[in-house]
Each structure stands twice: as C-alpha cells, then as structure tokens.
Structure 1
Amino acid sequence: MKHKKHVQGKRKPSHPLKPHHPSKITKSTPTKGSNGPKSKSSSSSTYSPRPIIPFTPTSSLLLIGEGDFSFTNSLITGTPPHISPSTTITTTTNDTEPVTVEKYPHSEETIKVLKSQEHKVLFSIDITKKLPKSLSTNKYNCIIFNFPHVGGLSTHLDRQIRSNQELILSFFKNCIPLLSTDGGIDDGSGNIVITLFTGKPYDDWNLKELAKSVGLECIRSFKFDATIYEGYKHVRTIGFRDREGDWKGEERGARSFVFKVKDDGKHKKKGGNKKGSDKNKGNSNKKNGKGNGKDSDDDDDDE
C-alpha cells in the first residue's frame, strides 16, 4: 500500500498559547462513507463501537472542577456502577461548599451521598495555584477535568481563548506530579483526561499543543458519551439560572483526550531517527484506520 507523503509533518507547531485557525481536530474528522484516503471503513472490522471509559473500576481517580458533582455521583450510582465499592474517589470543586449549594441547589443531596460512602469531597481547590497536601501527597491512576472553563471573564474571543489555555496549562503542570507510575489505560503510567465540546471556540484552544509544551502526549481521543454516566447533567460555571433551565450541555458534541507523560521508553523503541519513527507510527496506526504518520497524538480513535 502506498503512503501519501505528508508535508505538514515538517511544519513547526505554533506557540501553545497562540489561537490556531482552523482547528486540527475539526480538520481530522472524515466524512462517513467517504472513499477518500481518510475513510475509516476499511478498519471497521477491528474497531469497537462500544463507549470508551478511560479508567477501570479500581482506578484511583481525581476529579477536578466538578461543579454539582453529578459526574462523580454517576460513577457510583450507575447500573452497574463504573467504580468498585471498595474504591475511593477524590472529587473537587473550585467553589466553597455554601457557594456550590447556592449555584446548584440539587448538589446538597449529592454531596451527602458521596460523603456517606467515604469519598473525598474537597472544596475551594483552585487548580491554577499550589495544591494542598490533601492532594499533592497522593498519586492517581487517572485525573479527569470535564469541560474546563474560566467562565465569562471577557467578551473578547482571543482573551477568552488565552484565559482558558492558561487554565489548562496550570492544570497540566499541577497534575503531572500527581500521576501514578502505573495504572494507566495503556498499562503504563497514570493518565490525564480532558473533555471539551467540539467546534469553536474550543478547537482553537490547541489542547494537544498545550499538552506537548509541558511534556505530555495525547495517546487517544474519543467521543464523550454522556449517556453512559447515569444521572450526569452538564452544568455551567455560573450555576443554574431559571431562564436557562432547558440548556442541556450534555447533548452537545464533545470529545475526551487522554494524555500521558512522554518518554516512558516506548517511543525510543520505534526508531532512532525521525524518518524511521514516522514510518513506525504510520504502521502502528493502521488499526485505527490512520496511516498518516505525523504524530501519534494527532490520531483520533473514533469519529
């Protein structure tokens, strides 16, 4: 099989904090049923359509920016639950407990349930600042930040993009030291998972470039399916407002991106020079219908 020569592989990545137009994520989405080179129809026999959960029932989890804690609660109340009864979840929010209950009145009962099952519910955790010892002295198999957003700090689009990029960079930097040395979904070190809505302005945040700038690589991405998390409802940073009661963020298109720390020894086995490395990357991506061989973290697991 002939492989197309990818000129884009020689292009230098932009500065991680520079908005990128158009988004690579948007570009990488092929048209279903297409006979073009990006069609994934040839790999359907090896591709599983089942929803992907980026952790196991016994994973040690740290959840950041949980809002009303409905996602945390869905992990233990689903049928069946996603987390083993013997597993303790550490879940956090940036707000104080009174502010959380004021923003999301229904969260009060959820918080009681989580605490009654001895899960760690932590308030006033600002991921952009130095973390307290209650977090920094532990290690986690998986650290999850669903739909990070700084809120409406500015109506200027570029400023909003930059503010959210800075939030994500701080999150990455603070969480890398908290990752375990094992327990990741690839049998390697722990993973960081970020879920974002698809489309603008989220595609312009350059999530993968931000990760690269702090020594992380994206090992896979997949559609976020909110329906597999029973009882989960997406809430806004500003809290619940009556006039927006019918706003259902969980029904919007979204993707989850799984990251791990680079240089764990696996990449060095693929070749000593860039050309050889690219060749091997192209071969290793055939199972996902991807043979473009630029960077493994540019390949999406599903569309």
Structure 2
Amino acid sequence: MKHKRHTQGKRPSHPLKPHHPSKITKPASSSSKHKPAGGDKSTYSPRPIIPFTPTSSLLLIGEGDFSFTNSLIASSPPHISPSTVITTTTNDTEALTVEKYPHAEETISRLKQQEHKLVFSLDITKRLPKSVSSNTYNCIIFNFPHVGGLSTHLDRQIRSNQELILSFFKSCIPLLSQDGGIDDKGGNIVVTLFTGKPYDDWNLRELAKSVGLECVRSFKFDAAVYAGYRHVRTIGFREREGDWKGEERGARSFVFAVKDDGRRRRRDVKSNKKAGERGKGTTGGGKKGKGKDSDDDDDDD
C-alpha cells in the first residue's frame, strides 16, 4: 500500500466563564428554487459536516476501541482515500484495550493490515513519542475526552477534565500543519463533547482561547455519519450499563485553529473606526450606537 506522506498554558485558577460561538459560513445547500414550497423542510436535510478531507493527514487521540478510526474506512463512501494513513492513538496498552473492549481486537487487526499507524500507551499530558511528534497534521481529533471516574466530586471532575483538555491543546498546537485546514489555512483541532451539564461547565472555548486558539466553527456531531462507530466509556464496557448508548446523546464538535493575527487586526481596525465615528460630536443629531462583539457569531446547526 502506498502511504500518504504526513505534511509537517496556564492551569485555570477557577472554572472559566463560557464563551459565545463564532460566526461561520454554513454548508452550501441547494438553490432556494429547489427547496420545498411554503418553507416545508420535511424533505430537506443539510449535508453532514466532515471536518477534514479524504486526503487530510489525521491524528486521532484517545480512540478507545478504535471504532471511530475504523468508521473512516468502513463508511460508504469512505471518509478517507485508500492512500491516506491515519495515526490513531489510545492511552491504554494494546492488551488493556482488548480487555476493556473485547470487540476491539478485530478492529485493531484490520487497521494494522491496512497499514494505519496505531500508537498505544500515549499520554497526551506528557511528552509525545517521536512516532507522533515527528509529523504535522491537517486535523487532530479528540472525541469525547474524559479522565474517567477519578472523583465523585463534580468540581474536581470538571477541573481534571479541563486540565486534560489544556494539556491536549498545548501538546497538539505544535503538530498542526501550516495549511490543509477547513478554512484553507493552517491545520485544525477538533474536540467533540456531549451537550448539557457537566460538559458545558468545562468552558471549552475559553480553555482554547487561553492557549491561543479560536473556535472557527461548531456543529452537531452525527454518529450515524460514521458507519460502525459506537461510543465507549473510558472505564471500558460494563454489563450493568444495559442499553446505554452514548452515540444517541446530543453532542457537538468544535473546530479550533491558531488565532489569525491578520484577521484580528482587521477586526480591530474596523472596530476602532466605528468607535471613532461614534465618538464624534452628536450636536447634529447623530446617535450613539452600541458596539458589537465581533468575536461572537453564529454556529452551524
């Protein structure tokens, strides 16, 4: 098989405040003349969002049973091209992975046969091995990060997960490629979380902002887009969980990029210009307007 060549903060003192979404361009849809008359959307469904291309160099973190990795190959059509080599990782040893997720053994074997790069015992909070850090990536994905049941104390759980995500961001920013991102610029980091509490309290956007990242878009995570994917818990399979299915819960993916200084400067110039216009005398009947936070825009559905 021909391989695709890979292209080359501070711990918060308290739970960070939530940050508002960023404006993005929604996925292109068919022309309005093709939409159902009368605003009926019963036959219209938006195109699913995949935050990378078939030829993107991918690094997947905390893959658990590797079912998400396998889904990129198993989906029809596949989400990656046959020549794309995925670097996929887990913090467990191979033996522990199979012990926690017995069904993973077949998946691991299949990925190895297709010559994808599997890295076991990777601790994202520590120095990364050269097998991972020697390359750069168009897209780095961490789906449903969680430290596991380290504590039953809610605030401590939140703090531990915030520290995990901060470490992940800091470790992965140097691995982002200079191009190949979804906005035709540098590489992206994608984090997927369940919606609602306690996940909303992790303040993901503010954590990213604290290390120089900005959220360029977010969208609903649709597990059905990834054939054969199933959500598994960090602690592994437990019989008493019964019919619990994480892939059926509401979840959202957040796409981050290193802050664009040029774009930020343009926003600042525009903002200063408006501020100057508002600051002019109002004796001629001019009205003072309120400034709008240009960092906070709409998300995708």
Is 1:166 paired with 2:144?
no
Q: CA deviation at 1:195?
A: 0.2
**Which structure has the larger Rg over C-alpha atoms?**
2
Find the counterpart in structure 2 of residue 157 from structure 1: 154
Instruction: Measure, in 2, the Cα distance between the counterparts of 1:174 and 1:140.
Output: 13
Distance 2:164 2:215 in 1: 18
Query: Aligned AA for 2:180?
Result: G
Counting only pairs closer than 5 Å after superposition, residues 1-303 of structure 1 correspond to structure 2 as: 16=12, 18-19=14-15, 49-272=46-269, 274-276=271-273, 293-296=292-295, 298-303=296-301
What amino acid is aligned across from residue 147 of structure 1 in structure 2? F
Deviation at 1:295, TM superposition (A): 4.5
SS in 1 for 2:126: coil
Q: Whole-Å Cα distance in 1 between the matches of residues 242 and 87 of structure 2?
A: 29
TM-score, length basis structure 1: 0.79
CA distance in 1, matches of 2:105, 2:142: 21
Q: Which runs of 5+ in 2 are unaligned?
A: 1-10, 22-38, 276-290
- Aligned-partner residue type, residue 294 of structure 1: D
The answer (yes or no) to whether the contact 1:196–1:202 under 8 Å persists in 2 is yes
Structure 1 residues 238 and 277, CA gap change in structure 2 (3 angstroms): farther
Q: CA deviation at 1:301?
A: 2.2
Determine the C-alpha separation between the residues in 1 that align with 2:65 and 2:139: 20
Q: Tell me the percent identity.
A: 77
In 2: Cα distance, 1:226 partner to 1:56 partner: 18
- Greater length-normalized contact order (CA 8 Å, ≥ 6 residues apart): 2
What root-mean-square deviation, in Å, do the aligned CA atoms of Structure 1 and Structure 2 show? 2.4
- TM superposition shift of 1:242: 1.1
State the AA in 2 paired with 1:302.
D
Aligned residue pairs, count: 256
C-alpha contact (below 8 Å) 2:267/2:294 kept by paired residues: no
Counterparts of 2:274 and 2:50, CA distance in 1: 29
Partners in 1 of 2:244 and 2:13 — Cα distance? 30
Instruction: Name the CA shift for 1:228/1:71 in 2 (closer, same or farther; >3 Å).
Output: same
Distance 1:68-1:273 versus aligned 2 partners, 3 A rule: same
- Closer/same/farther in 2, CA of residues 179 and 243 from structure 1, 3 Å limit: same
Q: How far off its partner does 1:106 sit?
A: 0.3
- The answer to whether the Cα contact below 8 Å between 1:189 and 1:260 also exists between their aligned partners in 2 is yes
Q: Give the conservation status (yes or no) of the 8 Å contact 1:17–1:210.
A: no
Measure, in 1, the Cα distance between the counterparts of 2:56 and 2:45.
22
